[in-house]
Amino acid sequence: METRRALVTGAASGIGAACAQRLAADGVQVVAVDFDQDGLDALDGVDTIVSDLSDLERLADLPTDIDILVNNAGVQQVAPVEQFPPERFSYIIRLMLEAPFRLIRQTLPHMYGAGWGRVVNISSVHGLRASPFKAAYVAAKHGLEGLSKVVALEGAAHGVTSNCVNPAYVRTPLVTAQLADQAATHGLSEAEVLDKVLLEPVAVKRLIEPAEVAELVAMLCGPASASITGSSFVLDGGWTAH
């Protein structure tokens, strides 16, 4: 993997940071992208770029000679549809669906030319299941699932695979922030939100660790991944087993 170069978005914390460090441990040359300079500075053995991925026109400034693209950056907003701020809906779709499309679009020529590439989209169990009060997030993740499958079909002839990774709730700042929002929405304490809302649909009653997600990402980029494409890999503690 020492000859491979990866770009990981949302890499300053949580899943993105774990993926960046895990790929670097395999010898991959990692470019970590986020708007959080302090978080990026805490990473070891990777190159870093500070960028606001919701500014779509600036995406063209990012490296395109990329062999592995991990689309991870995301945010959450919890609100009923009739109260959901339209500008926030647009922002989430821009960051979590349009930005991955543009990054895939501008890195595919390099992958095609090399005859090898890996696109890994960090989706969610919410790419397969809906939850109330998360209209923008669920819409973006469902869209990412479809985009990933189209890239898989188009890229197969060029040695490029495209897959989604679909975790349930992971121990990340995004999930921690949700506890307060959901507590206000449901009239519960944060502890009750964790037990009665976030972990209610899962059989394994714990948050997933970022390193668990990163291990699956590494597998999808590794030597056994050539025929794995167009799929969604669920780490949901049994949520979708219902």
Per residue in 90-133, pLDDT (tens digit) is 999 999 999 999 999 999 999 999 999 999 999 999 999 999 99
Cα 66 to Cα 8: distance, rounded to the nearest angstrom: 10
pLDDT of residue 180: 80
Catalytic entry in 91, 112, 137, 169: 137
Cα four-point dihedral sign 235, 170, 147, 106: negative
Q: Which residues pair with 167 in a beta bridge?
A: 235
Locate 198 and state its tokens: 């976030």
pLDDT grade for 188, boundaries at 50, 70 and 90: confident
Among residues 106, 74, 71, the alpha carbon closest in space to that of 93 is found at: 74
How sure is the predictor about 224, in pLDDT bands with cuts at 50, 70 and 90?
Answer: very high
Which phi-psi region, left, alpha or beta, contains residue 120 (left: φ > 0; alpha: ψ -120 to 50)?
beta
Distance separating alpha carbons of residues 92 and 70, to the nearest angstrom:
18
Q: Report whether 34 contacts 60 (CB < 8 A).
A: no
Whether the predicted pLDDT of 77 surpasses 80: yes
> Count of residues for the chain?
242
Question: How far is residue 28's CA from residue 46's CA, in Å, rounded to a whole number?
Answer: 9
Answer yes or no: 112 catalytic.
no
With cut-offs at 50, 70 and 90, classify the pLDDT of residue 175: confident
Confidence of residue 174 (pLDDT cuts 50, 70, 90): confident
Percent of the chain with pLDDT over 90: 86
Q: Provide the terminal-to-terminal Cα distance of the chain, rounded to the nearest Å.
A: 38
